[in-house]
Chain A
Amino acid sequence: MAAAWASIAAAREGASVVLVDKGYVGTSGVTATAGPGHWFVPPDPEKRAAAVAQREAIACGIADERWMARILEETWQQLPKLEGYYEFGINDAGIKIYGAVRGPEYMRALRQLAEALSVRILDQSPALELLLHHDGSVAGARGIHRQRNEAWTVRAAGVVLATGGCAFFSRLLGSRTNTGDGYLMAAEAGVELSGMEFSSQYIVAPAFSTMARGMSYAYATYYGPDRRPLDIPTQAGGNRALARHMLRGPVYCDLGRMPLDIRARLPFISPNVMLPFVRRGIDPFNDQFPVTLIAEGTIRGMGGIKVVDDDCQTAVGGLYAAGDAASRELVTGAVSGGGAINSAWALSSGCWSGRAAARRALTHGRRANQPAQPIGQPAFRPRREPVSIDLGQVITTAHDEATHYDKNLFRSGPKLERSLERLDDLWRELRDSLQGEGVGLVRAREACAIVASARWSYTAALHRSETRGQHQREDAPDMLPRFAQRQSLSGIDRIRSSFQRDSGQAEAKTG
């Protein structure tokens, strides 16, 4: 979604734009299967200020109100421009609703608009590594068309990383392609990540299913193994309470409290929600069905690539980050932005970075005749003689370490250290001896990216030895004033952490 907005914004500035997607622009990513209700507030100063104040109050001191106001304004400006491509709903009072849009139709609209603006779309074409100029600025990217087994190279004045967050292969609906690839590419270029400790959001879903759609569970009743109702808070803390029960035994659910008129409307609000139930012969309003909590990683967590200016540029000139690939701490702090803030951020950061990349192209040119260095490390340039590595086992181990409730939701220093030992071992093995070839590079780089992302996440969690928002340490349950700042990480082998007060204003170091 952020990538599509970036391509549209860049094309509107008059640049020649290539949009590459690991999957298909329209079905890829977590927006396509969901229904984002953008943070959408009219430009009434009082309403805007109240909306920002409400979020600032829960952001645990590390968000930035100026950035919140910026995404409110950008979303307000841009979303209605999809008119003609998306048929916005009209409520019972006759008012057009712009904020809440349905995923498949929204992504279809963005694709159609991008195509109308002559954006060149390369589907099924995962990006694998960045190219840099000798002066350190970005020169383009390389990847492969995975169906034709054809390598591609795009030389560009600007590159927007909009690769999504990392779900650690958790089976979160629509997230299979979100493996942290952009984090790895950015970190290889020397770019810092920020807020990677905020990666412990979970969402309830039927135990047999990927169907992580929260709305219906506003009417859920949960039951223990004895099928008696559990006392689960409906608001903050509900998932942690559920997880504690799930560590002990199965938890069941029914949606029997959902009013009848909403049940009747449900297939036309969110047509995918009922599919797994119907196909399994379950009546979720009357039958108890087993539920699980699916890890949302940095998708509804907040960590990601650190941006250093208002265009969402990184510390590498011409390299931008948008959507879940970028840290969302600026707009949502230490608590999840949920669908509303995150979609407003994805739209806004996409538009800003796309516009800035286009302006850069129009002023600097592509410099396509100058030499450029591919900088991918693991799976491209092993340090030792390559050996065969069971990537399925690597992914399973990294997934288990990064998503297990006991390790990730109920964090402690010793548990994080134990996980990091295992993840560091995996990383060394991949770094030393993994060599990907052809389309095999895609899975090889995915495995590297999720191991790297898990290491960043837990390294950051270890250094933030306090509890703040989503990041909760059982061994450090208080929020401490000295940690009231964002944490940056750098490095892919030796990871360095630093806490610093900054407003995201620093200049990019290369022009």
Chain B
Amino acid sequence: MIELLVKDRCTKCNACVRACPTNVFDEAPGEVPVIARQSDCQTCYMCELYCPVDALFVASDCAHPEPVDEAAIVASGLLGQFRRDHGWGEWSSDARYKNQHWYMGEVFRRAREGEGGAR
């Protein structure tokens, strides 16, 4: 579930308020958005993808809130990793993060043909 909005990074653009498919955030006039309905979060990570300054962090547990240490998460390098791997924003011209989704069919084919051995 969404656990963290890093206030120092947030530019109050409210992209997360608009893009969250389950309406977790509330806009706050003149302030950073508020995580107003955490229990409605569907742990889809879409807010991270749509946050251009990597100010949001969705923790791994989809059912229960969990304590997070903001300083440790900022230091971990996890913020923005998802947006980078999608090749969005400033990463869009970086060949390392080019969309390789087309390879999905090959992954299934290789599994069907027995690569990786029997289960």
Residues of chain A at the chain B interface (Cβ within 8 Å): 22-24, 26-29, 32-33, 35, 37, 87-91, 97, 99-102, 104-105, 123-124, 146-147, 171, 173-177, 208-211, 215, 218-222, 229, 232, 234, 257-259, 262, 265, 267-272, 275-280
Contact = CB atoms under 8 A, between A and B. Distances in A.
13 contacts: A27-B50, A35-B101, A89-B101, A91-B102, A97-B105, A100-B102, A175-B42, A176-B44, A209-B62, A268-B97, A268-B99, A272-B82, A279-B60
Interface in B59-110: 59-63, 78, 81-82, 85-86, 97-108, 110
Given A267-B85, A269-B100, A275 B45 contact: yes
B10 to A, nearest CB: 18
Contacts of B46: 27, 32-33, 104
A89 B103 CA distance: 8
B21 A27 contact: yes
B43 to A, nearest CB: 5
A271 B62 CA distance: 18
Nearest to A222: B119
B78 A279 contact: yes
B11 interface: no
A165 B26 CA distance: 27
Contacts of A97: 102, 105
Contacts of B97: 268
A146 B24 CA distance: 11
Interface residues of B, number: 47
A221 B22 CA distance: 34
B30 interface: no
B29 interface: no
B15 to A, nearest CB: 10
Contacts of A23: 20-23
Contacts of B56: none
Nearest to B115: A259
A27 B20 contact: yes
B31 interface: no
Nearest to B48: A275
Contact of B111 (A100, A218, A222, A275): A218
A257 B20 contact: no
Nearest to A95: B102
A174 B49 CA distance: 14
A26 B22 CA distance: 12
A280 B27 CA distance: 30
Given A89-B99, A104-B49, A268-B85, A276 B60 contact: yes
A220 B104 contact: no
Interface string B2-31: 000000000000000111111100110000
B63 to A, nearest CB: 7
A219 B110 CA distance: 10
A124 B23 contact: yes
Given A27-B50, A208-B63, A258-B116, A269 B20 contact: no
A97 B99 CA distance: 12
Contacts of A222: 119
B25 to A, nearest CB: 9
A187 B69 CA distance: 48
Contacts of A208: 60-63
Contacts of B40: 176
A396 B19 CA distance: 27
Contacts of B106: 91
Contacts of A91: 102-103, 106
B60 A209 contact: yes
B100 A265 contact: yes
A359 B50 CA distance: 36
Nearest to A90: B102
A416 to B, nearest CB: 27
B20 to A, nearest CB: 7
Contact of A265 (B42, B50, B103, B119): B103
A293 to B, nearest CB: 14
A146 B22 CA distance: 10
A105 B17 contact: no
Given A23-B23, A28-B21, A124-B23, A269 B103 contact: yes
Given A88-B102, A218-B111, A280-B60, A171 B42 contact: yes
Contacts of A171: 42-43, 62-63
A27 B101 contact: no
Given A89-B99, A259-B116, A280-B60, A177 B107 contact: no
Contacts of B81: 275, 278
Nearest to B101: A102
A208 B18 CA distance: 27
Nearest to B92: A87
Given A35-B104, A100-B105, A218-B107, A210 B99 contact: no
B105 to A, nearest CB: 6
